[in-house]
């Protein structure tokens, strides 16, 4: 099992035929955290609770993850990019190996997977996901 960073293949097809609207205020995008036992990558099609992290103590993380605040997609040259506001889980105690960004409004359909490059652990502290700037080579969600 492994987590591999990728824009999900299903998302690439779905943006041409149905709703994944990052700016309409109706679609809610979420970020769910996963353990190293998860198998996530380009072939992931939807959110699943299988191998999702759980709190070792406290209530910092809830099943399904956290809501993302999106920034209006823009063009950087000929690449469409989208950025999200950083999110933090406070008073957290858990270990995560990667995450899935998904559209919880649209049948929990997958957008992209991000591998953290190994286990990241927090113990009674704050776990923050910092998204890079929305550039053609740095944005998490980008379509060239």
- CA dist 95 and 121 (Å) reads 4
Which of 116, 105, 118 has its CA nearest to residue 46? Answer: 105
Whole-number pLDDT of residue 135: 77
Binned at pLDDT 50, 70 and 90, residue 143 comes out as confident
| pTM score, whole prediction | 0.91
20-62 pLDDT, tens digit per residue, is 888 877 899 999 999 999 999 999 999 999 999 988 666 789 9
65-104 pLDDT, tens digit per residue, is 999 987 778 899 998 888 899 999 998 999 999 999 999 9
Whole-number pLDDT of residue 24: 74
Q: Which helix (H) or strand (E) holds 111?
A: strand 109-129
Residue 59 DSSP label: S
Where exactly are the structural domains of the chain? 6-143
- CA dist 5 and 134 (Å) reads 17
Whole-number pLDDT of residue 26: 84
Binned at pLDDT 50, 70 and 90, residue 130 comes out as very high
Whole-number pLDDT of residue 9: 92
Whole-number pLDDT of residue 58: 64
């Amino acid at each position: 099992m492994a987590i591999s960073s990728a824009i999900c293949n299903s998302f690439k097809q779905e943006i041409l035929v149905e709703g994944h609207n990052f700016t309409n205020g109706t679609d809610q995008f979420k970020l769910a955290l996963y353990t190293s036992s998860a198998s996530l990558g380009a072939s992931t099609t939807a959110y699943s609770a299988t191998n999702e992290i759980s709190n070792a103590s406290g209530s910092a993380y809830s099943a399904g993850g956290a809501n993302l605040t999106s920034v209006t997609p823009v063009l950087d040259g000929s690449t469409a990019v989208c950025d999200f506001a950083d999110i933090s889980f406070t008073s957290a105690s858990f270990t995560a190996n990667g995450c899935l960004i998904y559209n919880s409004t649209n049948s929990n359909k997958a957008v992209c997977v991000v591998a953290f490059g190994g286990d990241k652990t927090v113990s009674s502290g704050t776990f923050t996901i910092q998204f890079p700037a929305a550039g053609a080579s740095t944005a998490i969600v980008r379509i060239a």
